[in-house]
Structure 1
Amino acid sequence: MAGHSKWANIKRQKARVDAKKGKTFTQLSRAIIVAARNGGPDPEANFQLRTAIEKAKAASIPNDNIDRAIAKGAGTYDSDEAQLESIRYEGYGPGGVAVLIEALTDNRNRTAADLRSAFSKNGGNLGETGCVSWMFEQKGVVILEGEINEEELLEISADAGAESYEMNDDPGAEVFTEATDLEQLNRTLIEARFPVKEAELRWLANNYVEVTDPDQARSLLKLMDALESLDDVQNVTANFEMAEELMFESSRS
């Protein structure tokens, strides 16, 4: 739909409007800890860890903090901190919009309470496990930023097993693949000298709710901000889309 953006694009555009920092040091450090715990402390052999480190460096997290997070994940750092666990939460935003939240927490009760508060203050509600996850599918996404030859991208991506791609106006593109094929696609695009910014796993909605009401748009964007500002939250996904003009107007309200 021309002139409309889904949540991933709204999120990227809104970040520019708000001129806010990205993820907090706590959020990025936790992602490194869990990646090192799950796949080992060697970035060369652990794609999840490598991408988490790249995001941390892009946010100017000091190397000492990164090294400490890797050591915590590997169990080689003497710390009294509680063990982090990955949990997925689900809920509904204003107008019945489906919201999926990925969190890393050392205290489930605190995280659930914080999420419930964010939902209730912004016209939504935290739901039960499974209430909206059936509407989403996890995919691997490689994000490109810069001038791109679309014909070349199509050829290289197809050879690497990509499922689809979307060109952006920034300029840039996003290339989508099965979650298990993300590392291979990322490596192929880097070797082909495409301007790879980052690679990530992302939940994509199978259907979208179009938001046209300004009040609902404002409430939804406030809810997204409230959820993403929580240190325990790593990623937020929702199945709404709205006209770009409405998004910019609602962001300024």
Structure 2
Amino acid sequence: MASLARSIVIGPLFRSSSKSTSSSICAQCRRTFVSSPALQSGHNKWSKIKHEKAAADAKKNAARTVFTKNITLYSKLYGPNLNDNPQLATIVAAAKKAGTPKALIEGAIARGQGKSSEGATLEPVIYEAIVPPNIALVVDAATENTKRVIEDLNQMVKKANGAKSPSKFLFERRGRVIFEKGESDLDVDDIMEDAIEAGAEDLENDEEGNIIVWSDPSSTQQICKAVGSKFNLKIAESDIVWHAIEDTKAPLDSSEELVKFMDLLTSIKDYPDVQAIWSNVSRGNMSDDEWARVTELIDE
């Protein structure tokens, strides 16, 4: 009986305590809710800062990529010595002024000679893959550790739900030299005879008026030297390209696949041993900004 009495007394006290605790928790909830806009505001501000920083970093990395690519080109064409290679000296000076790290500049010069910054011989690597929705990639790289590069690229492609797979058959291998128009009034007709004699197969102008010379891959250096020197034309690019066959191009729409594709291209582009990325992607249903971003990340 005493035990029953105690339970009757204790019961209300317990319920009262529980109610008090519940009220206390609710009060805390209300206080947290009231203060949450300030936390959200700070979060939004930090997100904006992060996005602006990411955009600035992307722009800086793109500029550095252009510098290092041109440094490698002029080192390959005219030698690594700045005193004997005014074109190389000019682009190196511009890269330094833009804040390109010394290590990147020295690495680009060495790469033009087929060497790493430590002097090791670089081996060419051609990596092929297919990523959703059935888009082909060919990645050109030069490295002293082929196995490491392939393993790293495999991981990037796998993250994008793609796979290492033959894709070169969807492209044709061509040599391409782009001469800057600059202040010159020269046009395709003016250099055609000399370009053909040096091995050119086709010539055209791009939208900016630059002269593009297509050739067999083995003729690019001869065209650079013969045509560039004679007409005093600045070489914007000299590449052996993987040119997508028109009938094999794969459209990509604005979607989650597009986001993953751009993330993949960014990762590959930032990989230090990668020289170029070629793709048969074509513009599907996406915005101008999205397509512009894609074309910035691939070599055409």
Superposition TM-score, scaled by structure 1 size:
0.65
Structure 1 CA distance for aligned equivalents of residues 108 and 254 of structure 2: 45
Q: Structure 1: give runs of 5+ residues left out of the alignment.
A: 1-17, 45-49
1:140 to partner: Cα distance: 1.8
1:238 to partner: Cα distance: 1.1
The answer for the alignment partner of 2:269 in structure 1 is 228
Q: Structure 2: give runs of 5+ residues left out of the alignment.
A: 1-57, 295-300
Contact 1:217 1:246 in 2 (8 A): no
Structure 2 CA distance for aligned equivalents of residues 65 and 224 of structure 1: 25
SS in structure 1 at match of 2:133: helix
- 2:165 counterpart of 1:143: no
Q: Deviation per CA, 1:6-55: give whole Å up to 9, x if none.
A: xxxxxxxxxxxx632343999899x69xx98xx9xx829xxxxx8x9689
Structure 1 CA distance for aligned equivalents of residues 280 and 171 of structure 2: 8
Structure 1 CA distance for aligned equivalents of residues 110 and 131 of structure 2: 33
Larger mean Cα displacement after TM superposition, 20-29 or 101-110: 20-29
Structure 2 CA distance for aligned equivalents of residues 251 and 233 of structure 1: 21
Contact 1:164 1:175 in 2 (8 A): yes
- 2:195 counterpart of 1:157: yes
Larger mean Cα displacement after TM superposition, 189-198 or 150-159: 150-159
- 2:244 counterpart of 1:179: no
SS in structure 2 at match of 1:184: helix
Instruction: Give the number of the structure with larger relative contact order, counting CA–CA contacts within 8 Å between residues 6 or more apart.
Output: 1
- 2:163 counterpart of 1:125: yes
SS in structure 1 at match of 2:63: coil
1:201 to partner: Cα distance: 1.9
Q: How many residues align?
A: 216
The answer for the alignment partner of 1:206 in structure 2 is 245
Contact 2:68 2:108 in 1 (8 A): no
Contact 2:128 2:137 in 1 (8 A): yes
The structure number with the bigger radius of gyration is: 2
The answer for the alignment partner of 1:15 in structure 2 is none
Superposition TM-score, scaled by structure 2 size:
0.56
1:24-173 alignment runs, 5 A limit: 43=79, 57=92, 59-60=95-96, 65=106, 69=110, 84-127=122-165, 131-146=166-181, 148-173=186-211
Q: 1:82 to 1:153 in 2, by over 3 A?
A: closer
Structure 2 CA distance for aligned equivalents of residues 117 and 223 of structure 1: 10
SS in structure 1 at match of 2:200: coil
Q: 1:112 to 1:25 in 2, by over 3 A?
A: farther
Contact 1:27 1:232 in 2 (8 A): no
Q: 1:73 to 1:55 in 2, by over 3 A?
A: farther
Structure 2 CA distance for aligned equivalents of residues 153 and 244 of structure 1: 40
Contact 2:254 2:284 in 1 (8 A): no
Structure 2 CA distance for aligned equivalents of residues 202 and 123 of structure 1: 26
Structure 1 CA distance for aligned equivalents of residues 68 and 236 of structure 2: 22
Structure 2 CA distance for aligned equivalents of residues 218 and 55 of structure 1: 37
Contact 2:252 2:285 in 1 (8 A): no
Q: 1:82 to 1:66 in 2, by over 3 A?
A: closer
Q: Deviation per CA, 1:145-200: give whole Å up to 9, x if none.
A: 22552332444433433111332212313211111111221123211233432322
